[in-house]
Amino acid sequence: MFRFIHTADLHLDAPLKSLALKDEDLSDLVGNATRRALERIVDLCLEEDVDALLVAGDLYDGDMRSMKTAAFLVSQMERLDEAGIAVFMIRGNHDAESVLTRELEFSGNVHVFTGHGGTVELSEKGVAVHGVSFSKPQAPESLLPKYRPPVSGFFNIGLLHTSLAGAAGHDTYAPCSVNDLKSHGFDYWALGHVHIRQVHSEAPYVVMPGMPQGRDVGEAGPKSVTLVTIENGSVTLEERITSQVEFTRESVALDGIEDWRDALDAIDAVIASNAMAPSDHTVLRLELTGETPLAWRLRRDHDLLLEQVSNLARSKGSVWIDKIVHRHTPPSQTVKGEDPRSELGALMARLMEDETFLIRATRDAEDLVGDLPPELRSAFGETEEEQADQISALLKEGVEEIVARMMAGDREETS
């Protein structure tokens, strides 16, 4: 029998992407989440008494410079060494950028494959582990030609960091198809790079384990590693949750709700449903939707709403509020007589369809984004298209909020 944990894309000590993590305790929790995930992976290796840990790239995040992080990583590998657990590791596109990690003095149980590729035979287990690291951050061509043929009579495992034939939100790295991998002759392909878990094939196994810890709401849901057991030629896969923090996006329908307390009750019910998540903590982004007479008040008193909702989350002990997004609108109504505010609101709404206005507004917004600290700019997207979409969404929200505040006068007088 041979058992191993397959993981990838931990991005150890990755910087926070969210602008909303202003709560110091929450920032500390999320900032240390990747370290806790690595500890949990090592704990799982020890608890399950596995033979090996396989890391299919991007264990680190870019050019890691912290000696504290490096020492932490080495200490975790030493825990595995003391238990006699081998570690097989390849570098992905992020690892390849790191200068510090190339100088790390790992314990003897850690084998890091080079860019030339290689094979380690575990004769007593009848297992051969193959791997090829990225030599540079870019890998526009397939790395498959660098892999040796399978070792006859052994169970052959290939470690590969790849985008396969392409994945949404991921650049192309070491491209190849699932059929290319299947035809190579290995019994199990331990992949990395795409952050969503997927078993692409079972004959042979081609497994993308996903990431063990999400970093923002764009990487939502519980995260995990894959525990693999090989016995008498049979292969069993088990998904094991490792994320300490789980990011979630939830909608709260406020249709017809007129009372502030009732709105809080609706929000509280959604928060409570997320308190039972498989991870220890849930970071929740709430999107308020529907037609409600409270629309203008919710926007105007956003700071009060955020504080009250955050208190509701704190009372659950495991839920944190990342952000509240207003997607709701006032009830549709026919305005009697002429109302200059309604006319102005209609004009502002039409501006969002004016190409000249959008070009000018986008240019101004790009200048503002450019003035932000480098670590915050990525919150507006990683590409020109993503940034344009984000700016357009913010403009739309701004128009809706201004119109809601203009129309607030009559409702304040009658409330």
- The yes-or-no verdict on residue 413 having pLDDT over 50 is no
What pLDDT digit, counting tens, does each position of 344-362 carry?
766 776 777 777 777 777 7
Q: Of 241, 275, 300, which marks where a domain is finished? A: 241
Identify the domain containing residue 303 by its residue range.
245-414
3-class secondary-structure state, position 247: strand
* Statement to judge: residues 45 and 94 lie in one domain: yes
- Tell which wins on pLDDT, 149 or 405: 149
- The yes-or-no verdict on residue 411 having pLDDT over 50 is no
* Statement to judge: residues 93 and 135 lie in one domain: yes
- Tell which wins on pLDDT, 204 or 62: 204
Q: Are the CB atoms for 2 and 51 separated by under 8 Å?
A: yes
2-30 burial, b at 16+ Cβ within 10 Å, e below that, comes to: bbbbbbbbbbbbbebbbebbeeeebeebb
* Statement to judge: residues 235 and 251 lie in one domain: no
Q: Are the CB atoms for 204 and 4 separated by under 8 Å?
A: no
224 φ/ψ angles, rounded to the nearest 5 degrees: -155, 175
* Statement to judge: residues 24 and 149 lie in one domain: yes
Q: Of 209, 241, 273, which marks where a domain is finished? A: 241
What pLDDT digit, counting tens, does each position of 266-319 carry?
999 999 999 988 999 999 999 999 999 999 899 989 999 999 999 999 999 899
Model confidence, pTM: 0.79
- The yes-or-no verdict on residue 94 having pLDDT over 90 is no
Q: Are the CB atoms for 284 and 319 separated by under 8 Å?
A: yes
d(CA 239, CA 219): 17
What pLDDT digit, counting tens, does each position of 207-249 carry?
999 999 998 888 999 999 999 999 988 999 999 999 999 999 9
* Statement to judge: residues 68 and 6 lie in one domain: yes
Q: Of 241, 258, 293, which marks where a domain is finished? A: 241
* Statement to judge: residues 209 and 277 lie in one domain: no
* Statement to judge: residues 262 and 366 lie in one domain: yes
* Statement to judge: residues 276 and 316 lie in one domain: yes
* Statement to judge: residues 7 and 83 lie in one domain: yes
Sheet with 198-202: strands ordered across: 118-122, 127-131, 155-161, 188-192, 205-208, 198-202
For residue 96, give the nearest of 138, 129, 55 by alpha carbon. Answer: 138
**DSSP run (H or E) holding 264:** helix 260-274
* Statement to judge: residues 186 and 113 lie in one domain: yes
pLDDT given at position 326:
93
What pLDDT digit, counting tens, does each position of 180-197 carry?
999 999 999 999 999 999
pLDDT given at position 208:
97
* Statement to judge: residues 295 and 160 lie in one domain: no
- Number of domains observed in the structure of the chain: 2
pLDDT given at position 327:
92
- The yes-or-no verdict on residue 8 having pLDDT over 60 is yes
Q: What CATH number does residue 148 fall under?
A: 3.60.21.10
* Statement to judge: residues 232 and 331 lie in one domain: no
